[in-house]
Chains A and B, each alone.
Chain A
Amino acid sequence: MIIASVRDLCLHLISSAFQRCHASEDLCRLSVILKRSPQSDPHSVLISVSDTGVGSCLEEFGGVKLRKEAFGAQIWGIADDEIYHYQFNLKENVSARRLTRLPSNPKNGLKFSGTEVCLSIIESIDVLVAEFTLFFQKILILKVPNVAIELVVEHGHDPGSRYVNVFLANECNPLSIPASNLERLKSGLEDYVLKHGNTLSTKCELCFSSWEHLKVGSGVACCTEGRKYSGSVMEAVIVISEISEVASTCPRTHGSKTEVLYFKDFSPCPIPQSSLKALTSIDWKSYGLSFGSVVVQGGFALVEWENLPPYVQIDIVLHHYHEQIPSGRLKTRRDQNLIKKAIRLALDDLKDNYAGVLLSAQALKIRSFAPDLAKTISSLILSSNDSEFRKECFSFLGLPSQGVGGEVVEDCIKERLITVVEMNDRDPQRSKEIPTFLFEDDHMQDSGSQDEEFEVEDAFSSMDVLKCNTV
């Protein structure tokens, strides 16, 4: 594995530790401790990444290849009856690198497992703390309940100089247990949005005075075809948040842009190029969204919309993982398709669960006819001199048979029209049916001859046929 920077190496180690915790069914602890080196080397920082998870793998560390900096590291693996100690030098080439096994310590009959990686690097502690905090804020979105994370900074031997930050899932918006990965991801993204990217310890009361401000949709796409790729899962969660206007004073991270967070195998990671392509190729228009552009910033994608109303924010998280161990690398094309499918399902989920949300531009136009159409239909009912007919219509509409005003009938029909238009928009496949003319070839070829005719315009020239049946 080639790692570009010390920062990436640290995040890789933390990510591995997190995955070992996730793999464990017991409660686990992940500790990241940063300690200033002794006076002799004031610029170097000692970093310890330790976890009580399972499944430590030596090769994971031995194969790490750094591009630039070089430094030493030590590994203490804890397993079985003894605690094993290893050491290798990252300055050496991967091929020449030797893992040196150091003397082991006995466990004295205790049953525990875990891994600790220590390394010494030259880097600013403040920079590292900011990086790690951001990483943990994101990892909380996964809402893995059995992992407690602590970030500790020790400036010296004085206990008062210790800085401790604890990251716990399931704090703000408790989940029922057991919850599926997707349920956790949904809840996690909700928390993330409510706490402005998990930068706050509780939800922002300024922006979100009630839970109803969030609309959440999710979709899962699985790759079931082909033995090689089966078990590949792509989960997408989309949160649409509407913040109250008083919140305009609250500093928000990305304004009206959408942060697309990407997780790979339970770890935040930079969004792959193929996923960006997938994002741009989604038919956002059919959900009433006008896709502007996408830029990658700090490993996550920022999508800019052209028509998002003020005070509306969209957040998207994608999680790609394997339910089984993959026997090969997922092809980019499949990856793209999975993303597109998962996002589409999430968008559809939002449409299904929240009336009037993500309506296509076409549906919005169609919906604008509802008041007029309702008025006309109500006129057809109310102006009929057949009282039985009127009663029958009222009964269909669930209205009392007498004493109903025209406006009530109108409103009732309007509501139903809007419901149907929104329903049709959720099932867009049928609207996309291509009109078929049985006699397309001779479709009013000499319609010019009718232009001057007195009676009517050319009845067929502007015809819009949705579907035609032969008779």
Chain B
Amino acid sequence: MEGKHSRWSSQPRPCDLLRKIRELTRAIVEDLSNGRSPEILIDRFRNYCTKPDSNCYCSSDLPILKETLTLRRESHLRRLDVLLRVLVIVQQLLQENRHGSKRDIYYMHPSVFSDQSIVDRAINDICILMQCSRHNLNVVSVGKGLVMGWLRFSEAGNMFDCINRPNTAFPVPIHVEEVKDIVSVAKYILVVEKESVFQRLANDQFCNTNHCIVITGGGYPDISTRRFLGLLVDTLHLPTYCLVDCDPYGFDILSTYRFGSMQLAYDAKFLRVPEILWLGGFLLDSEKYQLPQQCLLPLTAQDKRKTEAMLRRCYLQREVPEWRLELQLMLERGVKFELEALSVHELNFLSAVYIPSKIEGGVYI
């Protein structure tokens, strides 16, 4: 139950966060009143480095540095301005026990925020300052995750009975902390990178023949999808496989599920799913499953750059060296393929042959 402990313990209560917001405000006001320049210290986290000797402590989840926001630099002022504006909104959401999306927040001061990413960064800063996760701030994003299969759960009193219709896509719940009563008779959880593959499996009635839960984040997974996946893994203790395109982006998405993203490194311990296993596609699958040559696409220059950069990530060598070998092979061969290419044999090749054969044969890493 280690995963459960790390992912679901010590969730701060709204009253604790409101107290922290007041403390921050009070400190600023007190400094200003005493003629002192306020300084806001923000921890900085990372979930990997690219040091060649891998002599690092990225896996510790500890902050690596502290940044200080002051009134001495224009860039700091801009950041502080946004941070405090978002904090006003967060205070209001928490006090009124309401939820708001990142987009809602953006539209409250669009001229100041200028871009969604500015709001996102401020939200991250606030999470770090308040030592909490984003959902604790009552800030959510519009979910794009989907789930289907042998699963039933409730969210805030609403029942999600996937078992009744195991090949029907349900949206991944946004308020994951309110998910309860999880029941499943699945044998494994299958995470797929793309919604198109998810729909292929749904059309092929994959869950009828395979007692499993299928989940997708639709590309880079959002927080809700990752948290929901973590909740399922912690609750059901099922083997969890991940199926991504055999290209650098597929690999990056796989890494995001497994290790978390750099942007949300401060919250990585709650968002990563270390139990995840890589089911495919591997480059050698193209030979094993006789993928025609024309289905193999050459890596672009950008693909190569991205692959080379990913190969330097410390966690690959330390924790999943066999993944790294696969990635290296992709770079050496200079080719990639999409999972949909497997349909070249037959439309249901992926669901009827590829996935079952890999799971049954234990061909995953």
Q: Do A and B come from one complex?
A: yes
Nearest A residue to B52 by beta-carbon distance? A442
B95 touching A413 by the CB < 8 A rule? Answer: no
Q: Are A468 and B141 in contact (CB under 8 A)?
A: no
- Give Cα distance in the complex from A447 to B50, angstroms: 11
**Cα distance A462–B125 in the bound complex, in angstroms:** 14
Judging by beta carbons under 8 Å apart, are B262 and A366 in contact?
no
How long is the Cα–Cα vector from A36 to B43 in the complex, in angstroms? 85
Least Cβ–Cβ distance between B34 and chain A, in angstroms: 8
* CB of A423 to closest CB in B, whole Å: 7
> What residues of B have a CB within 8 angstroms of the CB of A297 in the complex?
none
* Nearest-neighbor residue (CB-CB) of B311 within chain A: A446
A457 to B62 Cα, complex, angstroms = 21
What is the 8 Å Cβ interface bit string for chain B, positions 264-276, against chain A (1 contact, 0 not)? 1000000000000
Choose from A383, A384, A469 the contact partner of B65 (Cβ within 8 Å). Answer: A469
Contact A459 B262 (CB under 8 A): yes
A438 and B32 form a contact (CB under 8 A): no
Asked if A372 CB lies within 8 Å of chain B CBs, one says yes
Is A362's CB within 8 Å of the partner chain B?
A: yes
Q: Is the CB of B71 within 8 A of A366?
A: yes
Q: Out of A384, A416, A445, A455, which one reaches B50, CB within 8 Å? A: A445
A449-B252, A456-B120 given as contacts; is B88 within 8 A of A379 (CB)? yes
Q: Is residue B117 contacting chain A, with contact meaning CB distance below 8 A?
A: yes
Q: A439-B64, A445-B312, A459-B121 are in contact. Are A383 and B26 (CB under 8 A)?
A: no
Whole-angstrom distance from the CB of B127 to the nearest CB of chain A?
A: 11
CA distance A447 to B76 in the complex (A): 22
* Chain B residues closer than 8 Å to A470, beta-carbon distance: 65
Residues on the A chain within 8 Å of B115, using CB: 457
What is the interface size of chain A, counting residues whose CB is below 8 A from a CB of the partner?
62
Tell me whether A460 and B33 are in contact in the complex, defined as CB-CB below 8 angstroms, given that A376-B88, A438-B65, A455-B222 are known contacts: no
Give the interface size bracket for B toward A: 35 or more
Tell me if A452 counts as interface (CB < 8 A to partner B): yes
B340 interface residue per 8 A CB criterion: no
The proximity string for B residues 47-88 relative to A, scoring 1 for CB distances below 8 Å and 0 otherwise, is: 001110000000000111111111111111111110011011
Decide: B85 and A376 in contact? CB cutoff 8 A.
yes
A469 to B41, CA, bound (A): 10
State which of B157-165, B289-297, B302-310 sits at the interface with chain A. Answer: B302-310
Cβ 8 A contact of B37, one of A372, A376, A420: A420
Q: B313: CB under 8 A from chain A?
A: yes
Report the minimum CB–CB distance from B5 to chain A (whole Å): 23
Complex Cα distance, B67 from A470, in Å, reads 10
CB of A464 within 8 A of CB of B73, answer yes
A463 to B42, CA, bound (A): 12
Is B73 a contact partner of A471 (Cβ separation < 8 A)?
no
In contact, A466 and B70 (Cβ under 8 angstroms): yes
| Contact residue among B65, B77, B123, B310 (Cβ-Cβ distance under 8 Å from A437) | B65
A34 CA / B246 CA spacing, docked (Å): 102
CB under 8 Å from chain A, chain B span 2-33:
18, 21-22, 25-26, 28-33
- Of A80-88, A255-263, A338-346, A393-401, the one with at least 4 CB within 8 A of chain B: A393-401
Nearest-Cβ distance from residue A233 to partner chain B, whole angstroms: 34
Residues of B within 8 A of A450 (CB): 261-263
Q: Specify which chain A residues have a CB less than 8 angstroms from the CB of B18 in the assembled complex.
A: 384, 386
Question: Are A442 and B35 neighbours in the complex by a CB distance under 8 Å?
Answer: no
Interface: A373 (CB within 8 A):
yes
CB-CB < 8 A to A463: which residues of B?
Answer: 44, 67
Contact with A416, one of B33, B85, B87, B263 (Cβ below 8 angstroms): B33
CB neighbours of A384 from chain B (8 A)? 18, 21-22, 25, 91, 95
B221: interface (CB < 8 Å): yes
Q: Is B220 an interface residue (CB 8 A)?
A: yes
**A384 CA / B95 CA spacing, docked (Å):** 8
Contacts of A466 in B (CB 8 A): 67-70, 72-73, 76
Tell me if B223 is interfacial: C-beta within 8 Å of chain A. Answer: yes
A354 within 8 A of B: no
Which residues on B sit within 8 Å (CB–CB) of A68?
none
In the docked arrangement, what's the CA distance between A46 and B184, Å?
A: 120
Q: How far is the CA of A465 from the CA of B264 in the complex (A)?
A: 18
- Cβ–Cβ contact B306 & A377, under 8 A: no
Contacts of A380 in B (CB 8 A): 21, 25, 84, 87-88, 91
Across the interface, name the chain B residue whose C-beta is closest to A385. Answer: B95
**Could you say which residues of chain A place their CB within 8 Å of the CB of B35?**
416, 419-420, 423
Whether A376 pairs with B81 at a CB distance below 8 angstroms is yes
A439 to chain B, nearest CB (A): 6
Q: With A380-B21, A458-B263, A459-B262 as given contacts, are A465 and B67 in contact (CB-CB < 8 Å)?
A: yes
B71 touches A417 (CB 8 A): yes
A421 nearest CB neighbor, chain B only: B71
A384-B91, A393-B26 known; A468 vs B67 contact (CB < 8 Å): yes
Question: Is B124 in the interface zone, CB < 8 Å from A?
Answer: yes
Which of A393, A444, A460, A464 contacts B29 (CB under 8 A)? Answer: A393
**Contact between A369 and B306, CB atoms less than 8 A apart:** no
Measured between beta carbons, the chain B residues less than 8 angstroms from A224 are none
Q: How far is the CA of A362 from the CA of B252 in the complex (A)?
A: 40
Structural contact, A459 and B29, CB atoms closer than 8 A: no
Q: How far is the CA of A431 from the CA of B71 in the complex (A)?
A: 9
Contacts of B351 in A (CB 8 A): none
The reply to whether the CB of A126 lies closer than 8 angstroms to some CB of chain B is no
B117 touches A456 (CB 8 A): yes
B36 within 8 A of A: yes
Is A144 close to B, CB under 8 A?
no
Q: Is the CB of A469 within 8 A of B32?
A: no
The answer to whether A464 and B81 have CB atoms under 8 Å apart is no
B265's nearest neighbour on chain A, judged by CB, is: A459
The 4 closest A-B pairs by CB, nearest first: A446-B309, A457-B117, A456-B120, A464-B75
Q: Can you offer 6 A-B residue contacts whose CB atoms are under 8 A?
A: A384-B22, A386-B18, A438-B65, A439-B65, A449-B310, A457-B115
| Chain A contacts to B: CB under 8 angstroms | 362, 365-366, 369, 372-373, 376-377, 379-381, 383-386, 389, 392-393, 396-398, 413, 416-417, 419-421, 423-424, 430-431, 437-439, 441-442, 444-450, 452-460, 462-471
A-B contact sample (5 more), CB < 8 A, given A464-B75, A469-B66: A366-B74, A448-B305, A448-B306, A449-B252, A468-B44
